[in-house]
């Protein structure tokens, strides 16, 4: 068979439009020895695809697997659902966890009540408290004013930048 015919058959094979007889012709062709260098990849593909070999199974593999499964089953008897010891331990641990949770909630409630104290007066003289309050509010007002002026400066800079960008775009 000529290589032009083989190339057409290969193109049809890769498109999925070849018949069984054409595929058989390709198999026969690729089993031959005189194949051009550029078709060597296709030869390897066809020989690997249509090779009739099954994997080798080691002798005694089935018995080894059965023994491993049986060993694992015996090791995990504690975790099996029908184990009474497991069910008993799960119940006991659930009860213990519930008791521990109840005790810790009770302790937290009791501890929070003991820490709550009624607020006490910090000043004995109302005029002195009023003076401290005025000083605190004046300090807060000056800090707030400084923050507002910085924001105003930022807004002015932002407005100027936007105007410059709009002029550059137009």
Question: First CA to last CA across the chain, in angstroms?
Answer: 72
**What digits encode the pLDDT tens for the residues 50-85?**
776 667 778 888 888 888 888 776 666 555 566 677
**Which class for 29: exposed (0-12), middle (13-18), buried (19 or more C-beta within 10 A)?**
buried
Q: Is 18 helix (H, G, I), strand (E, B) or coil?
A: coil
CA distance 35 to 14: 19
**What digits encode the pLDDT tens for the residues 111-136?**
776 666 666 778 888 898 899 999 99
Instruction: Assess contact for 77 and 83: CB atoms under 8 A.
Output: yes
Predicted confidence band of residue 100 (pLDDT cuts 50, 70, 90): very high
């Amino acid at each position: 068979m000529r290589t032009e015919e083989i190339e057409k058959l290969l193109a049809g094979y890769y498109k999925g439009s070849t018949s069984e007889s054409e595929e058989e012709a390709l198999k026969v062709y690729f089993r031959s020895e005189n194949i051009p260098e550029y078709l060597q990849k296709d030869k390897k593909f066809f020989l690997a695809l249509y090779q009739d070999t099954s994997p080798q199974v080691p002798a005694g593999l089935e018995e080894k697997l059965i023994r491993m499964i049986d060993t694992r089953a015996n090791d995990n008897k504690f975790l099996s659902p029908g184990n009474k010891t497991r069910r008993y331990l799960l119940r006991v641990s659930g009860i213990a966890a519930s008791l521990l949770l109840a005790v810790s909630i009770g302790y937290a409630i009791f501890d929070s009540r003991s820490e709550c104290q009624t607020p006490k007066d910090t000043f004995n003289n109302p005029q002195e408290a009023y003076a401290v309050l005025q000083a605190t509010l004046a300090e807060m007002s000056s800090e707030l004013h400084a923050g507002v002026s910085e924001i105003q400066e930022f807004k002015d800079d932002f407005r100027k930048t936007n105007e410059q960008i709009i002029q550059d775009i137009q």
